[in-house]
Amino acid sequence: MLAETSSITRVQTGVSGLDEILSGGLVPERAYMVRGGPGSGKTTLGLHFLTAGIDAERALFINLGESEKQLRQSAELLGFDLANVVFLDLSPSPEFFSEVESYDVFSPADVEREPITREITSKVSEIKPRRVFIDTVTHLRYLSTDAQQFRKQIHSLLRYLTTSGATVLYTSEGSADEPDDDLQYMSDGILQLERANQRRYVEIAKFRASSFFAGQHALILTGEGMQVFPRILPEANKAIIGDVIVASGIPELDKLLHGGLERGTITIISGPSGVGKTTLGLQFMKEAAGRGEHSLIYTFEEGVETITRRAENVHIPVKAMLTRGTLAITAVEPLHFTPDEFAHRVRSDAQQMDAEIIMIDSVSGYSVALQGEDLVTHLHSLCKYLQNRGITVILINEVQDIVGHFQVTDVGISYMADTIIFLRYIELRGQLRRAIGVLKKRLSDFEKTLREYRITTYGIRVGKPLSELRGILTGFPQWGKDASDNHDE
């Protein structure tokens, strides 16, 4: 219920991920505003807040819009238990318009203001709440004769509640016609809920007496309430892993890489469709499984069964690896995830499984999930975060050209790679063959020649250096002038 951060005991909001961007939660006995339009999740956030501390703290819901009955019904549908939450129902009653003998609906607001003030102070004195949620303060604005009076009343109300020992969350529906700048100034923090491009975000616009994680963070509203996915940023302290080599187990390939991949590096495996990129990535995971290490695959383009069947056909025992728990494969439907939601999933899985290798298959599939957002920024953040945790990252990148024009990536991500392995189709003596080479390796030297790359029923086979061929990168290689006509292919 309470989270300890630095020397301040924080009040948790109850929303998964939100307390993380608030450096552990809300500062107690302060007042915070939740801004957002209709349907943005303000009331849902309030329900999380009230029920997060229900076991140890008294909670009060002051509702001025929806009735208590409606709110309890909505909360029940979302799975919130409000049995111990006290309501002060100040919403308009069904008899409001019929009791015209009391006062006309257009009469001065002073008629209602004083009874509401008495009810609030009476209820607070009675239950002494530690958490108070007011939904929505905007309705109180209509009970004031002018803006100055409203500011005084709200400021006085918030001071009364916080000095009584309560942490306060209140909602506002500010708009261009009805701005809430005055409320923003008097609040200790502002949680802005927004919708853009079919997605939802939360941003901390203000948070007195505390640090916080700035920027927009994705959120979703589900049948169980609200969930926030903090943006992934590389950790400040990089894991110390030493000079650990991740070998492939194929002597010729490891020789090409001068031993293999280094632990905690980012590798791009690039090539056209069907050339064997995913299979190559699986080979590193197969060897890692033999050492008892754990690997994760996120596939955006193929199902788990397809990858499993294809791997088994080339002597990579994916079924056994899945059974032993040394490998996990997750098929991702990109349109169902925001980039932050996917990154949160990867981070959580990596920690839970203690993964040493993570492969994203593929970059183009991942880009679909972005729906127009910046691919390089999101991918950089995720990969660098994993790298700093000592995890080896493999990115599968597909290029369009089968032969001819040589291209490593067409999305500008090669700068973040420590190692780039490329696979090529080549036409050789009337046959379509494959070649493998290394274009870049930051942490060690590498073999500058290309080798033939074959996928057989017995696994991956890498041949001798194709040192006598010229023009391999063009897709139309030819034997060098010193080559023998009876060269062994």
Domain count of the fold of the chain? 2
Rounded CA-CA distance 44/166 in Å is 20
Q: From 197, 229, 261, give the residue that closes a domain.
A: 229
Q: From 229, 257, 279, give the residue that closes a domain.
A: 229
Is the same domain home to 31 and 111?
A: yes
Name the token pair of 345.
């999933």
- Among 6-20, 138-152, 304-318, the least confident range: 138-152
Is the same domain home to 175 and 305?
A: no
Rounded CA-CA distance 407/272 in Å is 10
- For residue 145, count CB atoms less than 10 angstroms from its CB and return exposed for 0-12, middle for 13-18, buried for 19 or more: exposed
Rounded CA-CA distance 464/371 in Å is 43
- Among 37-41, 144-148, 225-229, 463-467, the least confident range: 144-148
Name the token pair of 399.
């290029």
Asked whether residue 100 carries a pLDDT value surpassing 90, the answer given is no
Residue 411 is assigned to a structural domain of this protein: yes
Structural domain range at position 344: 245-479
Give the model's confidence band at 407: pLDDT under 50 very low, under 70 low, under 90 confident, else very high.
low
364-395 pLDDT, tens digit each: 889 887 777 888 889 999 999 999 999 999 99
Rounded CA-CA distance 181/6 in Å is 31
Query: Across the chain, what does the average pLDDT equal?
Result: 86
CATH code at 173? 3.40.50.300
Is the same domain home to 207 and 269?
A: no
Residue 67 is assigned to a structural domain of this protein: yes
Q: What is the mean pLDDT of residues 290-296?
A: 96
Taking each helix axis from N to C terminus, what angle separates 42-52 and 68-78, rounded to the nearest 10 degrees? 80
Report the pLDDT value the prediction gives residue 103, as an integer from 0 to 100.
Answer: 42
3-state secondary structure (DSSP) of residue 392: strand
Residue 237 is assigned to a structural domain of this protein: no
Is the same domain home to 200 and 263?
A: no
Asked whether residue 102 carries a pLDDT value surpassing 50, the answer given is no
Residue 435 is assigned to a structural domain of this protein: yes
3-state secondary structure (DSSP) of residue 27: coil
Q: From 229, 256, 276, give the residue that closes a domain.
A: 229
- Close Cβ partners of 349 (under 8 Å, ≥ 6 residues apart): 296, 328, 330, 355
Is the same domain home to 51 and 176?
A: yes
Is the same domain home to 185 and 274?
A: no
Report the pLDDT value the prediction gives residue 57, as an integer from 0 to 100.
Answer: 72
Is the same domain home to 356 and 428?
A: yes
Name the token pair of 123.
């209820």
- Close Cβ partners of 319 (under 8 Å, ≥ 6 residues apart): 308, 312
- Among 135-144, 265-274, 301-310, 359-368, the least confident range: 135-144
Place of tokens 């849902």: 44
Name the token pair of 374.
């910046």
Is the same domain home to 216 and 266?
A: no
CA distances from 474 to 44, 270, 277, 401, 478 (A): 59, 16, 19, 11, 10
Output DSSP code: residue 473.
Answer: G
**In sequence order, what are the beta bridge partners of 359?**
297, 394
- Percentage of the chain with pLDDT > 90? 60
Is the same domain home to 172 and 99?
A: yes
Asked whether residue 479 carries a pLDDT value surpassing 80, the answer given is no
Sign of the C-alpha dihedral computed for residues 290, 291, 293 and 295 taken in this order: negative
CA distances from 429 to 451, 467, 487 (A): 16, 16, 12
The residue with greater pLDDT, 239 or 403, is: 239
Report the pLDDT value the prediction gives residue 138, as an integer from 0 to 100.
Answer: 79
Among 443, 473, 439, 436, CA closest to 280: 436
Is the same domain home to 155 and 7?
A: yes
Is the same domain home to 100 and 143?
A: yes
3-state secondary structure (DSSP) of residue 222: strand
Whether residue 61 contacts residue 135, with contact meaning beta carbons closer than 8 Å, is answered with yes
430-465 pLDDT, tens digit each: 788 899 999 999 999 999 988 999 999 999 999 998
Is the same domain home to 174 and 287?
A: no
Residue 485 is assigned to a structural domain of this protein: no
Rounded CA-CA distance 323/325 in Å is 5
Residue 240 is assigned to a structural domain of this protein: no
Please give the distance of CA 43 from its chain centroid, rounded to a whole number. Answer: 23
**Rg for the chain (alpha carbons), in Å?**
30
Rounded CA-CA distance 482/84 in Å is 88
Which stretch of DSSP H or E encloses residue 229?
Answer: strand 225-229
Residue 486 is assigned to a structural domain of this protein: no
Q: What is the mean pLDDT of residues 147-151?
A: 82
Residue 345 is assigned to a structural domain of this protein: yes
| DSSP β-ladder status, 85-89 and 451-456 | unpaired
